[in-house]
Structure 1
Amino acid sequence: MSDIKDAHHSASSAADVEVATSFPIHKGTSSDVDIAASYADQLTGENAYPEKEWTRLRWKLDLRLVPLLWFNVTLGAMDKVTTATAALYGFRADTGLTGNRYSWVGSAFYFGYLFWCLPSGSLLQRFPVAKLMFFVQILWGCILIGTGFANNFPTLIALRVLLGMLEAPIVPGNFLVLGMWYSRREQPLRLGLMYTGLSVCFTGPIGWGIGFLAGEHQWRAMFWITGGMTIVWACVVGLFLPDNPVKAKFVTERQKAIVIDRLRADQTGVENKSFKKEQMIEAFLDPKTWLMFLFNIWISIPNGGLTNFAPLVIKGLGYTSQRSTLLTMPTGIMQTMSSYMCNGGVFLCAKYFPQKHCRTGWVMFGIVVGLIAAVFLYALPLNNYNGRLAALYMSYFYLGPYIVALGINTANTAGHTKKVTTNALVFIAYCVSNIIAPQFFKATQAPLYPLGMGAILASYVLSMITIAMYAAYCWWENRRRDAIDGQKDVRVHHDTDFRDLTDKQNIHFRYVW
C-alpha cells in the first residue's frame, strides 16, 4: 500500500502514530487533491450554515438532478429492450431470427457493454461526466434509428453490440454524479427514485400504438420512435446536467461549499481527474470488489431472462400481441415498488437508527420475495393463467435488492480511480449475467421455459449467500478499524479529507452494510 501524508498536518498524537503504523501516509501532490478541496473549510465560524439552509438547497438539487438521472436510467432500460416489443410485430420473421438467434440478439447488447465497461470508466474519469453522456446518447439514438432499417441477423448483432458500448458509461456516470452531490445517508432515497422499472410505461403504450400502424413492418417504428426520443433527451442532458458541484452554474459559491461540507464526513471525496494505477490495483485486490462482482452476476440472471422473454411468455398464455405489450406494464410497476420499498426502507433505517446497519437486510428481503414468486412461476401449471401472470409480475421484485446493492458498492468505495474501476467491474458482472441468462430460455421450451425459471431460482439462493458474506466482511473490517483509530468519533480529519484516498488507505473510513 502506498504511503499517504497530508503536507498541512503537524504534531501527531499517540493515536495518530498508531494510525500511521497501520495506514502509512505519503506526502501528497496536487494530483492527490480532490477538486472540492478548495471549498472544504469555507463554512466555519460566522460562515456556518443552519440545517434549514441545507434542506432548502437539497430540494433545489433534487428538483434538478433526480429527474435527469431518472430518465437517463429509464431511457437506457427502454432502448435496450425495444427488441422484446418488436418481437411481437414480426421482428423475428422479417430479420431471419430463427432458432435461438433471438436470444443472441438479446445477448449481443451485453457483449458491447462488457467490452466497453473498463474503457468507459476511463473516459468517465478523463472527461466531464455530463458532456460525455450527451455525446454518447446522441450516437446511441442514431444507432437505434439505424436498427429500424436492419434486415438480417449479422446487421442486428453489430448494431446491438454498438448500442451496448454506447450505454456503458450511462449508469456508472449516474452513480458518480449521485455520489458528488449527496452523502451516503441521503443516497438510498435518491437512488430508489432514480432507478425504477417505469420504462415499460413508455414501451407499453408505444408498442400498443404501433399495432394500429398500417403495413407489415410495424416493428421498425419502435426503433425510430425510441431513437428520436433519445436524441432529444441527449440535448436536455447537455443543457441541464452539471459535470460536478464545483462547475455547476445553478448553485452559488456558498451552496457549493455546503454540498461539499455535507460530503466531508463520508470520506468519499467528489472527483479527481488524475488516473492512479495503485488505486486500480487495489480495486482488483479488494475482497469486497469480488463479492459484489459475484452478487451482481447472480442477481442479474432474472433481469437478463425476463426482460427479453416476458412479452413472449405473456403472449404464450394466449393473449394477442397488442394486449401482451400492455400486460408487460405491471412488470415495471412491480420493479418500481420494489425499488421504492427497499431503498425507502434503507433511508428510513439510516434516519431513525443511524447506528444500525440494515442495507443487506433489505437486499435479502427483496430476494426472498422474488424467490417465492419464481417458485410459483416454476411450479404452476400452464393453464393457470392468472396465477402465472401474477407470479411473473412478482418475480420482478429483484430490482430493489439490485439497486440497494449498487448503492452499497458506491458508499463503500473511496478514491476516484478506484470508484470508476469498481463500477466498471460491477457492470462487467451485470453484462456477463445478461449474456448468460437468455441462453437458459430455450425456444423449444416455450412458453413455460422451465430451464430459465430454474436458473432464476438458483440465482436468488446464490445472491443471498454472497451478500451475507459481503456484510460479514464489512462488519469485521469496521471492528478492526474501531480498535486502532484514535479519532473515530471526530468529524473533520485534516490528514485525509479530500485527499482522494481509497477506503483501504483511509483509517477513518467506515463501511455500510
Structure 2
Amino acid sequence: MSDTKDAIVSPASVGDVEVASSYPVEKSISGNGDVAAAYANQLSGENAYTTKEWTRLRWKLDLRLVPLLWFNVTLGAMDKVTTATAALYGFRADTDLTGDRYSWVGSAFYFGYLAWCLPSGSLLQKFPIAKLMFVVQILWGLILIGTGFANNFPTLIALRVLLGALEAPIVPGNFLVLGMWYTRREQPLRTGLMYTGLSVCFTGPIGWGIGFMVGEHQWRSMFWITGGMTIVWACVIGLFLPDNPVKAKFINDRQKAIVIDRLRADQTGVENKTFKKEQMIETFLDPKTWLMFFFHIWISIPNGGLTNFAPLIIKGLGYSSQRSTLLTMPTGIIQTISSYLCNGGVFLCAKYLPQRQLRTAWVLFGIIVGMISSVFLYTLPLNNYNGRLAALYMSYFYLGPYIVSLGINTANTAGHTKKVTTNALIFIAYCVSNIIAPQFFKTHQAPLYPLGMGAILGSYVLAMITIGLYATYCWNENRKRDAVDSAKGNRVHHDTDFRDLTDKENIHFRYVF
C-alpha cells in the first residue's frame, strides 16, 4: 500500500454530489446505478488521501461496525439454540416432546428460515438494512418471550418457524453491510471477528444460573431472558447501525468518498435499490452458485446436529444438568479459535502473498481438523469420557471453513440483485442442512448417536470435494479473463465502476479462491 492514492481521472469537488461530466456512464448511473456513484470521482489531485488518513478512518469504522455486526450474529446463534439449554431442565417433559419431537423442534426453526430466505433477500434490497434489522429483532424477541409460555408440541413448532423467518435477514444483511464498507482484502478479518462461537459465553452462564431456580420456571426463564436481551439489542441497532456509507451520520462527506474510493477496485458496488430480473436469472445459471450451495449443505451438517444435541451428549457422559451447561462453553471457544485462525490466515495471506490464491487452502485446513475429530467421536468407546469430550469440542472446527466460504461467496458476487439472491440461496442451503442434520440423531441411539456422528464425518468429506471444484472453476474463469482483458492491471475502470454490473458481465472482475 503506497503513501498516497493513485490519481483518479474526472475529478469533482468534495461537496459535489453529481458524477463528473467526463464519466462515460453517467446516464446509466443516474438511472440504475449504485448509490455510491455520486462519491466516486472526488479524491484525485489535491483531494487525494494518504494511507495514514485511511488507516485512521478504518479504525473508526471498525470500532463502530464490527461490534454491532458481531453481536447481531452472536445474538442469533444464542437465541436459536435456547431449546438445547432448556432441554436440560425439563423442557422436553413439560411440553410433551416424546420420541423424535425434540429433533423436529430443532428443525422447525430452519423451516421458517428456509421459507423466508428469498423474500428476506428482496426486503434487504427494498428497505434500509439497519431499519429492517431493528424491526425483525423486536419481533423475534417477542417470539422468544412467547416460547417461554408454550406448553405443547404444535405451539412450539409454530413459534420456532416464526423465529426462523424473522432471523432470516440478519446474517445476509450483515454480509451486505460488510461489502458496503470494506474491500475484498479487508473483509475476511472482519468476517472472522464478526462470526464467532461466543454465544455460549451467554447461554452457558444463563443456563447455569437458572439451574438454581426451582420448578418449571427454570427452562421458561431461558426464553424470557434471551427474548428481553434481543429487544434491548434491537434498539441499539436502530440507533447506531447506518444503512449504508452514503447515509452514515458518524462520518463526513470526505470520509464517505474515501470509503467509496477504496471499494471501486473490487468492482462489486455498494448498494442499488432497483430489482433486476436478469441478475436473478444469472444467479440461477451460474455454476459457482450451485457449487457453493452444495458446499454449504455439507459444511452445515455438523452445526445442525451438534448445536441441538451437544448438551445432551455431554449430559449422557454422566454430568449434571448445571455442569453440562458450563461444559458446553468450550465448544464456543473452539469455534472462535477456528474462525480467527482460518480468517486470520486468509487475511495474512492476502496481505503478504497477494499474488497467491489461498482462501480455499484455509477452508480445507479447517475441514481436515473437524474431520479427524469426528473420526475419534465416532470410534471412541463411551467410557472414554475425556477423549470423547475433547473430540466433541474439536468437531466444532467447522465454523472457520464455513465463515471463510461466506466471505469467498461475498467477494465473488457483483451486482446488487445478484448479491441478495446469491446470499438467499446460500442460506437456503444452510437451512436445508440444519433441517436434515437433527434427524440423524435418533433418541434411541443416545448418548453415542452413531448415525449422527457418521453423517458429520461424511459431510466433511463431501465438503472437501465441493470446495475443490469451486476453486477449480474460479481459477479457470480468471485464466480466461486474463487472456482477453488488456486493462486487467488498471485499478480504476470507468467503463464498469459503480454501474451495478454482475461479475459475469464485468470483464475486469477477478474471482478469489
For residue 116 of structure 2, what is the aligned residue in structure 1?
Answer: 116
Is the 8 Å Cα contact of residues 29 and 498 (structure 2) preserved in structure 1? no
Q: Is the 8 A contact 1:107 1:436 kept in 2?
A: yes
CA contact (8 A) 2:303 2:434 kept: yes
Alignment of 1:245-284 (within 5 A): 245-284=245-284
2:366 corresponds to which letter in structure 1? G
**Which amino acid letter does the alignment assign opposite residue 414 of structure 2?**
A
State the AA in 1 paired with 2:465.
Answer: I
CA contact (8 A) 2:29 2:37 kept: no
Matched-pair contact (CA < 8 Å) for 1:374–1:395? yes
Equivalent position of 1:72 in the other structure: 72
Is contact 1:374-1:391 (8 Å) kept?
yes
Q: CA deviation at 1:9?
A: 6.5
TM-score, normalised to structure 2, is 0.95
Q: Could you report, residue by residue, the CA deviation over 1:413-471 in whole angstroms, capped at 9, with x for unpaired residues?
A: 00000000000000000000000000000001000000000000000000000000000
Q: CA RMSD for the aligned pairs?
A: 1.3
Q: Please state how far the C-alpha of 1:215 moved relative to its aligned partner.
A: 2.3
Q: Residue 45 in 1 paired to residue 45 in 2?
A: yes
**Deviation string, structure 1 residues 269-298 (Cα, Å, up to 9, x no partner):** 000000000000000000010000000000
1:442 corresponds to = 442
SS of residue matched to 2:497: coil
CA distance in 2, matches of 1:304, 1:7: 53
Hey, what does 2:461 align to over in structure 1? Answer: 461
Alignment-mate amino acid for residue 135 of structure 1: V
Deviations 1:194-215 (A, max 9, x none): 0000000000000000000132
For normalisation by structure 1, the TM-score amounts to 0.95
CA distance in 2, matches of 1:446, 1:214: 27
CA distance in 2, matches of 1:370, 1:505: 37
State how far apart, in whole Å, the 1-side matches of 2:93 and 2:119 are. 36
1:240 maps to which residue? Answer: 240
Alpha-carbon distance in structure 1 between the residues aligned to 2:206 and 2:31: 49
Structure 1 residues 402 and 112: CA distance shift in structure 2, 3 A: same
Contact (CA 8 Å) 1:36, 1:269: kept in 2 or not? Answer: yes
Aligned to 1:14: none
Aligned pairs (5 A) from 1:345-494: 345-494=345-494
| 1:29, distance to aligned residue in structure 2 (A) | 5.9
Show the counterpart of 2:326.
326
Task: Measure the CA separation in 2 of the matches of 1:315 and 1:413.
Answer: 43
Question: Does 2:117 correspond to 1:154?
Answer: no
Report what 1:85 is aligned to. 85
State the distance in 2 between where 1:333 and 1:241 align: 27
Contact 1:114 / 1:427 at 8 angstroms: preserved in 2?
Answer: yes
**Cα deviations by residue, 1:329-349 (Å, 9 ceiling, x for unpaired):** 000000000000000000000
Q: In structure 1, what residue type is equivalent to 2:470?
A: Y
- Cα distance in 2 for partners of 1:244, 1:29 equals 17
CA distance in structure 2 between the aligned counterparts of 1:266 and 1:334, rounded to whole angstroms: 32
- Identity across matched positions, percent: 85
Determine the structure 2 residue equivalent to 1:16: none
1: distance between equivalents of 2:473 and 2:243? 34
Report how many residues are paired. Answer: 494
Does the 8 A contact of 2:29 with 2:499 survive in 1? no
Distance in 2 (CA, whole Å) between partners of 1:257 and 1:218 is 52
AA aligned opposite 2:209: G
- The runs of at least 4 aligned residues of structure 1 exceeding 3 Å deviation read 6-10
> Equivalents in 1 of 2:22, 2:451: separation in Å?
61
CA distance in 2, matches of 1:69, 1:357: 27
Matches within 5 A, 1:178-197: 178-197=178-197
For the Cα contact (< 8 Å) 1:89–1:217, is it kept in 2?
no
Q: Is the 8 A contact 1:496 1:506 kept in 2?
A: yes
Question: Partner letter of residue 406 of structure 2?
Answer: L
Q: Distance in 1 between matches of 2:330 and 2:460?
A: 21
Q: What are structure 2's unaligned runs of at least 5 residues?
A: 1-19
Q: Report if aligned partners of 1:7, 1:27 keep a CA contact under 8 Å in 2.
A: no
Distance 2:61 2:199 in 1: 23
- Aligned to 1:36, the other structure's residue is in SS state helix
SS of residue in 1 equivalent to 2:28: coil
Deviation at 1:8, TM superposition (A): 5.9
CA 27–46 in structure 1, closer or farther in 2 if over 3 Å, else same: closer
Contact 2:43 2:49 in 1 (8 A): yes
Gaps of 5+ in 1: 1-5, 11-24
- How far apart are residue 26 of structure 1 and its match? 13
Match runs of 1:275-354 below 5 Å:
275-354=275-354
Q: Give, in angstroms, the shift of residue 408 of structure 1.
A: 0.1
Q: Distance in 2 between matches of 1:359 and 1:277?
A: 31
- Mapped partners of 2:275, 2:438: distance in 1: 36
- Residues 84-134 of structure 1, C-alpha deviations (whole Å, 9 max, x = no match): 000000000000000000000000000000000000000000000000000
Contact 1:441 1:451 in 2 (8 A): yes
Residues 100 and 443, structure 1, Cα contact 8 Å, conserved in 2: yes
In the other structure, the counterpart of 2:32 is 32
Q: State the distance in 1 between where 2:27 and 2:230 align.
A: 46
SS at match of 2:458: helix
Residue in 2 aligned with 1:20? none
Structure-2 separation of matches of 1:26 and 1:266: 20
| Alignment-derived partner of residue 504 in structure 2 | 504
What SS does structure 2 have at the residue aligned with 1:312?
A: helix
Task: Report the Cα distance in structure 2 between the residues aligned to 1:187 and 1:250, rounded to whole angstroms.
Answer: 21
CA contact (8 A) 2:88 2:321 kept: yes
Q: Is the 8 A contact 2:297 2:429 kept in 1?
A: yes
Letter in 1 for 2:231: I
What is the letter of the counterpart of residue 285 of structure 2? L
CA distance in structure 1 between the aligned counterparts of 2:392 and 2:21, rounded to whole angstroms:
58
Whether the 8 Å contact between 1:312 and 1:447 is mirrored in structure 2 is: yes
